[in-house]
Structure 1
């Protein structure tokens, strides 16, 4: 949904309308879910005491509940990536506050998830599900009303037109001239200073400099006699240098984006295998005379708090002219993700050794606090890569794809989780072949989760090496100074 929402925002509605429409749809969804959880006639009756039988939900009850759930997914999913780029547009290019914005956004998002997973869950569990959902719905209503009421405050740019259309025009135009030879002098390529590019918000200010990479695409900007027939340039035969450079920029971003998708294979261990690992430890943490029991699933909340702390430190570093560029932040995220899973592998090897050396009581002797280092290191990784990726893709993406650039982040998270699921399935099948126990038996003490961690470390390390090579050879997007800029500066 973030990808679809970004496409609609960039091509038709614009970012503000897309965000407002998405949040409005989610209000309807939350209202349906709240109603389903509140009215007795719209939910199944309570299960009978001392009985294994529970009355199933009726078709009407299921339709109401699941329609509400999916409307929430559609609305929030379509709005959240667009919201990030819409808010970033409120800053001028070169404004140092834009870098801080991406990090503070990520902090706020994590604190929101932390609040939902702790306080809100407590309300739903101790008070009622309907009241908890009602709180959620109320917050979304407030956000819609606040966004609509403050519209005069915002810088609202019109949609730039379909970015896919510009990409296809370059591909079609270059394929028609495949037999031509690209000129050595880039000045011979067509830019069309007097022709406004409908795909750009500000054609005078957003013309990109020519680069030598992917030179075959430059054929789309080579002028032939057929291109100017009738007096007007034909966009499916002749494209501007800026259009060609936008496609080149996209092609340079895709490999880096793919390394981010592989990164989330390691990152997602904090919500999956790290939690499984925690269930096999002693959940009590004793501080002096006080003993606290921490459920394994709650360790993700500790990671969230650490992410917020890391982002705060990053913002202080940015204020002091830190050398951490977005690409360097992403590199730090890749490296520390591998380090976090490596720590988890060492911890799991120690836990398995304790489990095999003694009885079941001794197996729980390793306290859950041993898992804290891997969560802290993963928090550093999460904050570094996520903030760096959001900022990097927004800054480097073509102007016509600013909405889609932030959607790439959410898509990489999804792909990382899918890769992890498939890898677990394959490893479980291969290691359990021939009647062997395998790495993932029902009883974790009989398996080798540490081996799986080492496999993830190997994948993350190779992925880090690929990222470093791509980052070193990356050609950043460069905007040509327009004639209007030259006049104003002189």
Structure 2
């Protein structure tokens, strides 16, 4: 957080006044600009939003945003192939690059929200940009001049490739969507959580409501994905691409109008400065004082009592001193040079030091979540491949379930498990444990880690049975045998994702509340990247020396079950590391 460098050298108890140019102007200009009322964080009566409708409105906005985003994403490669007539390699690369940009933008959007605009303005601007992008791709899919003619079917099929201007218009539209929706994605999660004033964890009723919000956020997001993967994809494939994209655009338009119209409802928390500047100041101050001895009494460190807070600032979250990473306390040791200089790059407060310590504690737990998604992503990859090699008939052959539809079944189970947890499990646990909080975020994350091990183990057992049937010449395994692994991985997904979102939001430094929710999207991306490299490595190593390997062209000749057991081993070690980190985690303590 920014701080002026004015210190009085004649006084040993010098007052340093914090002056944030971001908040000074932003806190005053945000209200007339957006038509929303800014509520002070510390106000007890009017700002208590136990009965507020704001979180429900935010969840409705999440449904609209996620439905529109996946309405474009899930069928993008089909549009590039069937309408723009691109080749398979370039289409796959284009979709992967676009998806990577979409999941990178939450980090950028969160940084802007935390340092400059605040969450409300970031979400509003992001959705407005994505609306422009949706309008562009709808126009591109509707006007014949902006897409190549259909393929000619004669003696041979000829598909004219899209002209440069046609591709430029369409890709400009989807990248505007990536920038807009991606930038708003992380900010809208923390914006909804800001509507609950739990008084730094002291109000247990509000704290439990906030925990429930994270559950419903993830459930609504999965319901939106299910809607996109069924209704919108069907409209795009069977009715019209223009109409399908037009529906996506209308969803975003409704979200923008609703967010602007309901502005007075929300509790707005002004941005508190750059999330990285404070950490950099602590590291620089520590480097300058590397030879300074840390006092035995933490009361001698530079604390917030020495700081005058501007009337433009909301009361800032003050953190208690902790003993972990004690060497960093050197940044808060007051020396004679600090009294003469007064620079925030020489002397930092205890809270600034503790914010950096908190970030260092969170990183190892975040890395275990990234490894978790190595196993979780199997539901969209190897589980589907496994399903293609089974008998897809169920109900005595009355119905046939495509293997790719199993991911929709998983999504439905995620939504069902969240509803069951919120309506039955959590209330029963609160009564049984006699406490306001059913399970802590770390406990939910632990359940997710444990359940994913069981899910992949079930997949290994099913694959071993399938291969045994194939090699014995027996009937192929029915696809229904794969349902248990999808049910368990759905419970795992819901538990870990909800717990991670809540945990990082609660424990992240105040200056990184928006960026903390972006950690979730980063862990998903990193997990998928690790998984892709792992598959390539395993396929290469197991096929050396002319052997068939675990991933041959014909899966009946391979050993996908061995690969699943490798994933079980990796996730089991990861779970043990998580348990160790969770047991030894020092939570953030607010004064």
Pair 1:451 & 2:556 matched: no
Pair 1:431 & 2:536 matched: no
The match for 2:5 is: none
The match for 1:484 is: none
Pair 1:123 & 2:235 matched: yes
Q: Distance in 2 between matches of 1:157 and 1:40?
A: 47
1:347 to 462, 470, 477: 462
Gap regions ≥5 residues in structure 1: 481-490
Gap regions ≥5 residues in structure 2: 1-104, 431-436
1:103 to 198, 209, 215: 215
**CA offsets, 1:127-176, max 9 Å, x none?**
11111111011000000010011111111222111111100000011111
Q: Distance in 1 between matches of 2:504 and 2:234?
A: 37
Pair 1:208 & 2:323 matched: no
Query: Shift of residue 319 of structure 1?
Result: 3.6
Contact 1:100 1:318 in 2 (8 A): no
Q: Distance in 1 between matches of 2:308 and 2:543?
A: 63
1:112 to 216, 224, 244: 224
Pair 1:5 & 2:109 matched: yes
Moved more, 400-409 or 29-38: 29-38
1:140 to 240, 245, 252: 252
Closer, same or farther: CA 394–196 of 1 in aligned 2, 3 Å: farther
**CA offsets, 1:391-418, max 9 Å, x none?**
0000000110000000000000000000
**CA offsets, 1:99-135, max 9 Å, x none?**
1100001000000000000111111121111111110
Q: Distance in 2 between matches of 1:191 and 1:472?
A: 29
Query: Shift of residue 192 of structure 1?
Result: 3.2
Write out aligned runs for 1:57-76 (5 A). Answer: 57-76=162-181
Contact 1:157 1:201 in 2 (8 A): no
**CA offsets, 1:247-294, max 9 Å, x none?**
00000000000000000000000000000000001111116xx71111
SS at match of 2:321: coil
The match for 1:366 is: 477
Q: Distance in 2 between matches of 1:21 and 1:477?
A: 32
SS at match of 2:394: strand
SS at match of 1:163: coil
Matched positions, count: 470
Query: Shift of residue 229 of structure 1?
Result: 1.3
The match for 1:483 is: none
> After the TM superposition, which parts of structure 1 deviate over 2 Å for at least 4 consecutive aligned residues?
200-203, 316-320
**CA RMSD after TM alignment:** 1.4
1:327 to 436, 442, 450: 442
Q: Distance in 2 between matches of 1:350 and 1:457?
A: 17
Q: Distance in 2 between matches of 1:54 and 1:312?
A: 47
Closer, same or farther: CA 405–196 of 1 in aligned 2, 3 Å: farther
Pair 1:295 & 2:399 matched: no
Q: Distance in 2 between matches of 1:303 and 1:184?
A: 54
1:315 to 422, 426, 429: 422
Moved more, 42-51 or 444-453: 42-51
The match for 1:258 is: 367
Closer, same or farther: CA 201–469 of 1 in aligned 2, 3 Å: farther
Query: Shift of residue 79 of structure 1?
Result: 0.5
Query: Shift of residue 196 of structure 1?
Result: 4.4
Q: Distance in 2 between matches of 1:133 and 1:173?
A: 52
Closer, same or farther: CA 197–421 of 1 in aligned 2, 3 Å: farther
Query: Shift of residue 71 of structure 1?
Result: 1.3
2:384 to 244, 261, 275: 275
Q: Distance in 1 between matches of 2:309 and 2:426?
A: 35
Query: Shift of residue 323 of structure 1?
Result: 3.8
The match for 1:43 is: 147
Contact 2:304 2:351 in 1 (8 A): no
Closer, same or farther: CA 196–390 of 1 in aligned 2, 3 Å: farther
Query: Shift of residue 12 of structure 1?
Result: 1.1
The match for 2:575 is: 464
Q: Distance in 1 between matches of 2:471 and 2:150?
A: 44
**CA offsets, 1:420-474, max 9 Å, x none?**
0000011111111122211111111111111110111100000000000000000
